[in-house]
Amino acid sequence: MSRKTRGLRPEERELWQRVAEQSVPMHPERAQPMKQAVEHLNKVPPKHHVQHFGIGHMARKATPQHDLAPPIADHLMSSAIQMDRKAYGKMKRGKLGIEAKIDLHGMTLAQAHPTLNGFIQRTHAQGKRLVLVVTGKGKSGTSGTGPIPERRGVLRQQVPHWLMAPPLGALVIQVTPAHLKHGGEGAYYVYLRRNR
């Protein structure tokens, strides 16, 4: 199936050319694509046909799979230090004593969220300061052949958000990926506020 589209009339092409010549690019480094667009319009014949393919043709075409979200560890490492810098340095090197640990391996989001909430609230009430939350790294790669890849390591991505959001955000000072000896990317150090 084809559909006819109208090309630019000579007066429209001339107007476009004048506007393009008088415009000052906001970002000079992006001026080249604009120049190429003008050159392309000058080459396009006044009337041309655009061919549209049925859905069967599009289904056979491979779609690229992208994961646009940056790794959560990068985000945590770039966040501001809210605790004592010396203690933070020790914590990152795995030299600060862990007072409690929870392992969320194998749990669903629905199971892990209330379990984590209870654990953090309980350890804070007990006056503990540094706890280890083990999420696991998740399986590598993606599964499925659809256009949207299935994200792996869902707990690893979600736990830091839970720790910084209410009700836990009021109890937590700092979240950072654990040292390799405590699980590396599959675990987080959680530094809690003092219990007053």
Domain boundaries, the chain: 2-60, 72-192
Note the pLDDT of residue 112: 95
* pLDDT, tens only, 53-103: 444 444 444 445 555 566 676 677 777 888 999 999 999 899 999 999 999
Higher local confidence (pLDDT), 63 or 189: 189
Task: Please state, rounded to an integer, the average pLDDT across all residues of the chain.
Answer: 78
Q: Return the CATH class of domain 72-192.
A: alpha beta
5-19, 28-42, 61-75, 117-131: range with lowest mean pLDDT: 61-75
Within a 10 A sphere around the Cβ of 95, how many other Cβ atoms? 10
Q: Assign 39 a pLDDT band (cuts: 50, 70, 90).
A: low
Higher local confidence (pLDDT), 21 or 93: 93
Higher local confidence (pLDDT), 109 or 26: 109
